[in-house]
Amino acid sequence: MGAEESTGFEPATGDGPPAAEPAAARAASVRTAFEGLLQIRRLTGAGRPAPEAVPALWELNRPVRAVALALESSGSTPSAVDPSGRRVSAGYRVSDGESAGSVRVEWIGPPGSGAAHGEEQALADCASALRDLGWTVLLYRGPRRRRYLEVEPPSGL
pLDDT of 5 > 70? The answer is: no
What three-state secondary structure class fits 118? helix
**pTM, whole model, 2 decimals?**
0.91
Q: How far is CA 28 from the centre of its chain?
A: 17
DSSP 71-89: HHHTTPPB-EE-TTS-EEE
Q: What value does the mean pLDDT take over residues 45-64?
A: 91
pLDDT of 1 > 50? The answer is: no
pLDDT of 136 > 90? The answer is: yes
Report which DSSP code applies to 51.
G
| b/e 36-74 (16+ beta carbons within 10 angstroms → b) | ebeebbeebbeeeeebeebbbeebeeebbbbbbbbbbbb
* pLDDT reported for residue 157: 63
Q: Encode pLDDT of 68-94 as tens digits.
A: 999 999 999 999 999 999 999 999 999
Distance of alpha carbon 35 from alpha carbon 139, whole angstroms: 28
